[in-house]
């Protein structure tokens, strides 16, 4: 049982089907929060959420939810994002007055949209939901930025393809669960940690990772609620196949105030699934 944010045709649904297979039972929900709530309450085994995009960076809301719910990351999936401008069949560009999409879809298509300053751009909660809105609109003034698959599902016409400003545009999704799984072929680790306010505290963490031969793939910081100017750090690193990491974690704990292993899972290079 898999839940994702959005409706049929969403990039999150694509990530779910690619990771779990076309026959998985997956359900779309309106918000990231509801995805986490449903998994927490046992209504689903896994949640699939986007965590970063190669064009526009981190999805801050998902990092915050990871910190709040304390879930484990048990896998990852990359999806190549090819945004299209969609509208009802027979619509001309001159008919369009408003374009809807997820805020990330609008941001990733800003160069294309800048060529049409007469259009009103309105963010909605999901790209595929935007496509559904365009399909249900009684006239042809509304267009959506979403996937070609969403166009097929909702009976829309592709007016322009590849409207995202970066041609090789990928979103990384993580698969979250209540408990860790630590698959035998795990070669990637995600952690979160807080640091003492002393000179060189972050350098100490990075030095330990380097000494143990860990390849740092990502580091991100998010403000801690109700603790001004204090931050929760998230880091992803490749282990090079090293399964004996107890010594690494022990040393990291000496350099941090708190350390939590979010997950150990198999790294999926984006070219493997994205092309």
> Which are the catalytic amino acids?
171, 173
Alpha-carbon span 187 to 193, nearest angstrom: 20
Order of strands across the sheet with 188-194?
215-223, 231-238, 188-194, 258-265
H or E, element range at 50 = strand 46-53
H or E, element range at 66 = helix 60-69
What single DSSP character describes residue 9? T
Q: How many helices (H) and strands (E) does the chain have?
A: 10, 15
Among 231, 257, 259, 229, smallest CA distance to 245 is for 259
State the maximum Cα–Cα separation within the chain, in Å, rounded to a whole number. 64
């Amino acid at each position: 049982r898999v839940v994702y944010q959005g409706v049929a045709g969403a990039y999150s649904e694509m990530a779910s089907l690619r990771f779990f297979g076309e026959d998985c039972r997956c359900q779309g929900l309106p918000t990231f929060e509801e995805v986490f709530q449903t998994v927490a309450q046992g209504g689903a085994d896994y949640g699939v959420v986007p965590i970063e995009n190669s064009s526009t960076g981190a999805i801050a809301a998902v990092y915050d939810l990871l910190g709040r719910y304390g879930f484990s990351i048990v896998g990852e999936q990359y999806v190549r994002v090819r945004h299209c401008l969609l509208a009802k069949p027979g619509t001309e560009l001159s008919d369009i007055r408003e374009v809807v999409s997820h805020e990330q879809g609008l941001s990733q298509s800003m160069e294309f949209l800048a060529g049409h300053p007469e259009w009103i751009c309105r963010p909605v909660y999901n790209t595929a939901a935007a496509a559904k809105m365009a399909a249900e609109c009684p006239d042809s003034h509304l267009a959506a930025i979403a996937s070609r698959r969403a166009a097929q599902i909702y009976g829309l016409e592709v007016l322009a393809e590849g409207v995202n400003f970066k041609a090789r545009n990928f979103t990384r999704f993580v698969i979250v669960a209540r408990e860790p799984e630590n698959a035998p072929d795990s070669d990637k680790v995600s952690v979160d940690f807080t640091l003492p306010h002393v000179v060189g505290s972050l350098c100490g963490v990075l030095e330990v990772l380097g000494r143990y031969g860990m390849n740092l793939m990502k580091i991100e910081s998010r403000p801690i609620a109700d603790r001004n100017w204090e931050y929760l750090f998230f880091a992803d690193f490749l282990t090079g196949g090293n399964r004996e990491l107890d010594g690494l974690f022990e040393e990291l704990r000496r350099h941090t105030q708190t350390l939590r292993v979010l997950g150990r899972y198999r790294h999926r290079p984006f070219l493997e699934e994205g092309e």
